[in-house]
Amino acid sequence: MRTQGCGSSYAPAMASSDPTEIVERLWAHEQIRQLASHYAVAVDSRDLDALVLLFVDDVRVGRDTFGREALRASFAESLGAIGISMLNVGTHAIDLVDADHATGQVYCHAQIQDGERWIHQFILYRDAYERRDGQWLFVRRVHELWYGEEAPNSPMSLPAAEWPKNHDGLGTVPSSWPSWTTFWANRA
């Protein structure tokens, strides 16, 4: 199960016509796509327990630190430094290396509350994935930035929408996530 990666040029590898191998490749792609989507939801809801479980248990955090507890502490610090975030995952190119290893590139449009400022970012995640015990996980996730730009107005200054009464205004998310409330209560 080997495909050719995305570099300066891309040529799809000859795929097997074996139905079992085709289904295995499709299933691997879908599980990896869901991994990236679950990452976005876990970040935005500040569900650190769910977030760290998306990574291998011996994940490298920084130069000399390993493991999910170290990763949890790193996420707690970085996500505690911002307010609301909205990660919208888009293009996701996945290259299967073999039955248990893959790489990927994920485009993400982010909106981030930074104090009183509202920031738009376009992110490229360069990922390495590994399948352990039948589950695809992140081994590494490198965050690169195309751009970050301050928006002229912050949506956090809008009056409450009181949905479905009004279509515009401030809604109830992220406060409707119990993990969001717990995250901020634990930081107090």
**What pLDDT sits at residue 26?**
92
In a domain, 11, yes or no: no
73-128 pLDDT, tens digit per residue, is 999 999 999 999 999 999 999 999 999 999 999 999 999 999 999 999 999 999 99
In a domain, 83, yes or no: yes
In a domain, 8, yes or no: no
In a domain, 12, yes or no: no
Range with lowest mean pLDDT among 82-91, 132-141, 170-179: 170-179
Q: 164 or 179: whose pLDDT is higher?
A: 179
Average pLDDT over residues 15-33: 89
Confidence of residue 17 (pLDDT cuts 50, 70, 90): confident
What's the CATH code of the domain at 140? 3.10.450.50
Average pLDDT over residues 151-176: 89
| Total number of domains in the chain | 1
Q: Percent of the chain scored above 70 by pLDDT?
A: 92
In a domain, 13, yes or no: no
Whether 5 has a pLDDT exceeding 60, the answer reads: no
Q: Which amino acid is at 148?
A: G
Segments forming the whole domain that contains residue 157? 19-187
In a domain, 35, yes or no: yes
